[in-house]
Amino acid sequence: MITGATLLGYRKRYDTKTFFKKRFMKILIPLICWSALMMLWDVFITRSVNMPTSFASFFNMFMYSKFNSIYYFMFVILGIYITIPTLSPLSENKNRGILKYTIVAFFVLNTLIPDLLQFTQLSVNPNLKLQLAGWIILPLVGYYLNTTSFSKRQRILIYLLGAASVAYHFLITYCLSTSSGILKTPASDYGQFHVILSTSAVFVFFKNLRLKLSPRASGALKTLAGCSFGIFLCHILIMHYESAIIRHAFGLQTSSWIYRLLCPFLTYALCVGLVLILKKIPFLRRIVP
C-alpha cells in the first residue's frame, strides 16, 4: 500500500526512465548480494541446499528464492514496479472515477465473491473477474486511501470493517482446522478481501494519527523507518543464531509462547543494530538502502 501511495503518481516528479532507475537499483543490488550471501550460508553453514552446479541451476534457484524463501517478496515488488507505469495515469484527477471503478470491481469480482462462495455449493467462472494480478490491488488501494480525506464516521466504519476482517481470518482458520483435524488456512492470501479491509484500516489509522514528537524522537523514528528494508533482508540470519543461543542458554524452544511473544523485539533490536553498522560502511551501505 505504501508503494502505491508514494509511487503511483511518480509522473508528477520524474519520467518513467528515472522511475525505473531509482526503483530497480534500490531492489536489484540488495537482492543479488543477499541471495548470494544466503546461498553460501545455506551451502556451507546450514547445508540445507547443494551448491548449484551450473549457471542455469543458480539462476533458477535465485529466481524462485530457494536460498531464502522470504525474498519472494522482492520479486513481487519488482513486478509491481513494472506494472506501475501502466497504471500511473489512474493517479490523475480526471481518472479518479476509473481508479474507484478498478478498486471496486477488483474487490467484488476477484476476491469478495470467490472467497465467500468457497464456503457454499455455489461457484463462479474464474474468468469472470477484472483481469489484473492479485497483488496490484494493494498499491491501488494505498494510493486511493492516501489521497482521500475521510470523515470521522467513515474512519470508524473502516476500523470496524478492519476489526471484523481480522476476526474473520482467525475464525475461518480455527473452524476449518478443528473440523478437519489439520491446519487449514483458506484465508491466508494477501489479495483476499479481508486482508484488503484490515490493511486499509491500519493504513487509515496511521495516516490520521497526529503525534506531536520532539525533533529528537522524530529523528529516531525516521532512522528506524530507514532500516526497514535492511531488517527484512537480514532478519532470517539474525533469527537463526539468536534462536540457537537462546535454546542453548535457556532451553527455550522457538515454539514456546515466551519466545514468540518476547523474542521478536530482541530480533528487531539486533537487526537495527546490524543495519545501522552496515549503513556506515561505504561499500556495504548499498546492500541495506
Q: pLDDT tens digits, residue range 205-231? A: 999 988 888 889 999 999 999 999 999
**Domain shared by 203 and 260, yes or no:** no
Q: Tell me if 128 is assigned to some domain.
A: yes
What would the grid cell of residue 175 be? Answer: 473452524
What's the pTM value of the predicted model, to 2 decimals?
0.89
Domain of 133 in residue numbering reads as 2-154+199-207
**Domain shared by 226 and 120, yes or no:** no
**Domain shared by 127 and 270, yes or no:** no
| Residues contacting 282, CB < 8 A, separation 6+ | none
Hey, what amino acid is at 34? W
Q: Tell me if 146 is assigned to some domain.
A: yes
First to last CA, the chain: 19
Number of domains the chain is built from: 2
* Whole-number Å distance between alpha carbons of 22 and 34: 19
**Domain shared by 141 and 55, yes or no:** yes
- Residue 93 is given by DSSP the state G
Strand, helix or coil for residue 232: helix
**Domain shared by 266 and 203, yes or no:** no
Q: Tell me if 169 is assigned to some domain.
A: no
**Domain shared by 136 and 264, yes or no:** no
Q: Tell me if 98 is assigned to some domain.
A: yes
Strand, helix or coil for residue 278: helix
**Domain shared by 239 and 145, yes or no:** no
Q: Using one digit for the tens of pLDDT, what is the confidence trace for 64-109?
A: 988 888 999 999 999 999 999 999 999 999 999 999 999 999 999 9
**Domain shared by 203 and 267, yes or no:** no
Pinpoint the alpha helices (H) of the chain. 2-7, 16-40, 55-63, 72-87, 96-105, 113-117, 137-146, 152-180, 193-207, 215-225, 228-250, 257-279
